[in-house]
Amino acid sequence: MTSGEVVLTVENLRTVVGTDIPVVRGVSFTIRAGETVGMVGESGSGKTLTALSVMGLLPEAARVTTGRVEFAGHDLVTLPERRRRGLRGAGIAMIYQDPMTALNPFMRVGGQILEGLNAHGVRGVTARRRMLDTLAEVELPRPDRIARAYPHQLSGGQRQRVMIAMALAPRPRLLIADEPTTALDVTIQQQILGLVADFRRRTGLAVLWITHDLGVVARIADRVLVMYAGRIVEQAPVRDLFRRPNHPYTAGLLASVPPRRTGDPEPLPQIGGMPPDPARLPTGCGFAPRCPHLESRCVAAEPPVSPRGAGTVACWVPRERWA
């Protein structure tokens, strides 16, 4: 895989649930080999459903209505399920927030990793060696002992490392990580972030890291996608976004991050109001009811995505009017 090569292209992706309730609304982005893209936003903003749309793992009540998801020369939206299943794991892998619900409690850890390898044509002695090597790569002590263990016999941090090993063992080109460190303590979180970053540097793995933790994004991401009400309202290189956000919602998220300084804590700014119900989206900009810089046109029409600064933004109000 050539460094910088586009691995995933998502264009105008739209996903609905139930009776055509829009939950992913015209999402477009790319991810390149060796790049980590952070996707941030409040709960319900559409981050996980975007990832599941890419993977083709949507719940029965949801479906993609329009758009293109190009990976390895295929449009995954129109690709038959049998062929798309072959790309999962071997091409695109996903790790989840809670390994206890993702791991089979009745199977030994090694067997679960081998099952995935076997499904993609890696079998026998080669598969077992790959399984043990990958457990060692994620820094689990005594891989042979871990392979014989059941999930409940491992700590939370060990289970998450097992999930990462399962994802990385088939050597995918793209890893989608959906809040995989949220339930872990800070020390274990740092170790997991380091593991994925090291694997990315060594192999050219492309990573989409979904989180609500802007501190994590600042440490690991090259670019950031900010989602609100099913749309990407801003995307930019991580340094530019943190130094000079171009959307009022992004600025509100950054303002709510606790500072590192010591001393008496001060109340953090909050974004007033609540995210909109996807079934009752406001006219115009989805952020308009909560935006402190509202203008008349913000409620008249939804802003298009347009270039601003080093990235793109969906906002009618020039930054100079509110910054």
What is the predicted pLDDT for the residue at 62?
96
At residue 249, the pLDDT reads: 96
Q: What is the pLDDT of residue 224?
A: 98
pLDDT in tens, 270-299: 898 999 999 999 999 999 999 999 999 999
Distance (Å, whole) CA 196 – CA 300: 44
Measured CA to CA, the distance from residue 317 to residue 247 in angstroms comes to 9
Give the closest residue to 88 by CA, choosing from 55, 64, 53, 47: 55
Closest CA to 14 of 75, 83, 78, 67: 67
User: What are the CA-CA distances from residue 167 to residues 56, 103, 138, 205 (Å)?
Assistant: 16, 12, 11, 12
The pLDDT tens digits of the residues spanning 117-171 come to 998 889 999 999 999 999 999 989 999 999 999 999 999 889 989 999 999 999 9
Query: 306: which 2 tokens?
Result: 């347009």
- Residues of the chain predicted below pLDDT 50: none
The predicted pLDDT at position 192 comes to 86
Using alpha carbons, list the distances in angstroms from residue 308 to 237, 243, 244, 247, 316.
12, 14, 11, 10, 11
> What is the model's pLDDT at position 98?
77
So what's the pLDDT on residue 180?
Answer: 84
Give the separation between CA 56 and CA 66, rounded to whole angstroms.
13
Question: Tell me, what's the pLDDT at 261?
Answer: 63
Full-model pTM: 0.93
